[in-house]
Amino acid sequence: MDEFELIRRYFDRAATADGVVIGIGDDGAVIEPTPGLQQVQVIDTLVEGVHFPENFNPTDLGYRVVVVNLSDIAAMGATPRWMTLALTLTAADDEWLTGFAEGLHGACVEFGVALIGGDTTSGERIVGTVHITGEVEPGKALTRAGAKPGDRVFVTGTVGDAAAGLDGLRTGQPVKTLFNRFSRPSPRVAYGRALSGLATAVIDLSDGLLGDLGKLAEASGAGAEIELERLPLSDDLRGHYSADEQRRFALTGGDDYELCFTMSGEPPDPGILQVTEIGRITSTPGVACRLDGELVEIEDPGYLHFQ
């Protein structure tokens, strides 16, 4: 199977989506943006052995490489539209590619994004890069930069599950429901759009709550304070780990892909999604944590590449 046969077989799903003038198969894709809307561009790479373990389920990888990007689109309050994929493979294995394509196209269908092109190469480990273009009303993109002292800090869903799931894999005692939160994150695309025009600042949680909230606070020229009792923790996390471990995963574990946002008033109706108030924006730089009202020190600011 050569490169062209591979693309045709696994990736060319004749994008009939809106705005696709020329899709996969030519030297470049041509899209027709919605008149009057601004574009949001996001890109994220997943490297085998760095962002996902070796022998990771290919269907989950295909799904995950799309949704980690959709989480950035969500954090910008945008609507996802078009996507390209750069894929490096160690071998052209039919079973692996069938699984990967199933997860990838599944995520595209679920969130209404069209695969319009890409590049396929061979290399020494599996690397997947997805780029997504989203659209947003002019001036309505959400940013990290608008939080004001006194704003309330909220987080969607529960935090710490994905990191605990990965930890279970390392220790040889995997908890399936927790590992599922790592392999199949739920990007909060609809809620991100609902926050548009309401939230003062938004960030998605990819590197851990403390580090990511710290980035939001810094971009806003402010600080934050959170109350550790308020952290939204799943029953699974509580059931399998000590209070200390729960807190460590929730604060410094990455890969949750929930949204952390700030606003002065009430958040929009989240429907069945859980939204929890965890603290306040302050004028003191950094993120302070309180447990039973007392300030506590937390080490480990989350995952940093190239330190």
The contact set with ligand ADP (CB under 6 A) reads 7, 11, 24-27, 85, 87, 115, 117-120
- Binding at 115: pick from Mg ion, ligand ADP, none (beta carbon under 5-8 Å per type): ligand ADP
- Binding at 87: pick from Mg ion, ligand ADP, none (beta carbon under 5-8 Å per type): ligand ADP
Q: Which is nearer to ligand ADP, 129 or 262 (CB)?
A: 129
Q: Which is nearer to ligand ADP, 66 or 209 (CB)?
A: 66
Q: Which is nearer to ligand ADP, 42 or 85 (CB)?
A: 85
Name the closest residue to Mg ion (Cβ): 119
Residue pair 273/195 in contact (Cβ under 8 Å)? The answer is no
- Binding at 191: pick from ligand ADP, Mg ion, none (beta carbon under 5-8 Å per type): none
Least distance from C-beta 100 to ligand ADP, angstroms? 10
Residue 106: CB partners within 8 Å, gap ≥ 6?
Answer: 59, 62, 63
Least distance from C-beta 131 to ligand ADP, angstroms? 11
Q: In angstroms, rounded to a whole number, what is the distance separating the alpha carbons of residues 189 and 147? A: 21
Q: Which is nearer to Mg ion, 43 or 145 (CB)?
A: 43
Sheet strands (E) in the chain: 20-22, 30-31, 38-47, 79-89, 114-122, 127-136, 152-156, 201-204, 223-227, 259-263, 275-282, 286-291, 294-296
Strand partners, 133: 41, 82
Least distance from C-beta 118 to Mg ion, angstroms? 8
Starting from the edge strand earliest in sequence, which strands make up the sheet with 275-282, in order?
201-204, 259-263, 152-156, 275-282, 223-227, 286-291, 294-296
Q: In angstroms, rounded to a whole number, what is the distance separating the alpha carbons of residues 131 and 56? A: 21
Sheet strands (E) in 91-213: 114-122, 127-136, 152-156, 201-204
Considering only the stretches 82-90, 116-124, 173-181, 249-257, report the one whose residues sit in contact with Mg ion under the rule CB under 5 A.
116-124
Phi/psi zone of residue 302: left (φ > 0), alpha (ψ -120 to 50 degrees), beta? Answer: left
Residue pair 279/223 in contact (Cβ under 8 Å)? The answer is no
Q: Which is nearer to ligand ADP, 104 or 199 (CB)?
A: 104
Residue pair 278/231 in contact (Cβ under 8 Å)? The answer is yes
Least distance from C-beta 28 to Mg ion, angstroms? 11
Phi/psi zone of residue 17: left (φ > 0), alpha (ψ -120 to 50 degrees), beta? Answer: beta
- Binding at 163: pick from ligand ADP, Mg ion, none (beta carbon under 5-8 Å per type): none
Q: Which is nearer to Mg ion, 119 or 229 (CB)?
A: 119
Q: Which is nearer to Mg ion, 10 or 241 (CB)?
A: 10
Least distance from C-beta 16 to Mg ion, angstroms? 23
- One symbol per residue from 24 to 63: x for binding Mg ion (CB under 5 A), - otherwise; what is it? ----------------------------------------
Among 18, 119, 229, 266, contact with Mg ion (rule: CB under 5 A): 119
